A and B are shown apart, each in its own frame.
Chain A
């Protein structure tokens, strides 16, 4: 059978191909340091629009009370204010640090900052790095304070609102906050009190942050 028209055997041809590819590799750069990411623009814009990638502070509080630990909570604020107060189980990473984040791409990641802006930016960075499930905490730490730590109710609240408030009072106490009970103050506007790092009444703090069932891998 005369397959090779050239003087080289198939093995030699393959060796030449490997050599050439290896030679090209010298000039192709480092895949570990890839900074260029491609994103599915459609998917991203859909997710931004339908809000399926955000999480309310109430749900976050519920998760912590239930001692869920299948997520990583990332605080994007400055270290100084992070040390003053942070949501239990959170870790402090700045946006610039996200590029070298060492988390599994399938980990559930929840981002928060003071408000929505920084966390939305960080969300985009992580999504373009192909992290699968990234959520942002709606309203950030401000909404957390307002709704979870220091919930308030106005005098003319409906009974439905009152029932909701009763629940939030419990939640608030769990996280060491102080519910703002209805007062005779006719303005109905209450200033959010100055916040000190509250003592946790529960023990959600320090809960293991490990992901759920790890995927089997390796040989």
Chain B
């Protein structure tokens, strides 16, 4: 009997009041996004965090995330706030109409504890089921520009050690989602695919929690899903689950799972984190069942039922309804 666990990949929209408050406190320009110890800003984030934790608990999600509301630069955040990283011009965030500040690594990526501090704050609000979220090492290195390590492999190694140290400083969490859209968006080539897998393994091994490497969006090369070699290498990492985007790609993923097998657990991105159309719990359940029925090559103990992407793309009203629908999926009876 497969256990369904409802969750999300984090990266939430700021509540509307916090949007205004923080824009007023911090400003609208590139330079205004630097980290600040201003108590008013900290206080605004604390209140916003409480709001999104409450909202997840109200919905009844099995895993609760901190919300990543401070991540102005989305997945590039852990670098953007680092002392040895310069943030430069605004660049497009993948194929989205969103932008982040280009992080240029200018020195060694020493452990900082920024994400652990966020989770510490969240532990006061969450009794059980706290889920951490980090950019995967391959994606974070992909978003960075290197002005220190010298080559791609050395940069990846530096980013991996940095993320492993971050993860090692986490308070107790139930689950860690490592977000790896770059495995699809700019897939690693020969030998880089193996390095990517090793890097993910190193970060996964740094925490005592269930680890999900979540992949999403469509690959430009190939059929749309993860490239077969990339996927095959990914399975070598010590992961509890791989996550797939079933909003953007179906057949290739099903093929990969049947052809190469999968981890013991799996995460299925079955609601669209980028569109306001709210899928009903029965629709979500249908998508989950579709995957389970079409992957005879795997026998999953647990399915994380999740949105495909982070949810900051959505206005807060629709965001809340997406959480409600995900949390309600367990009550849906299989057809």
Bound pair: A and B? no
Binding site for B on A (CB under 8 A): none
Binding site for A on B (CB under 8 A): none
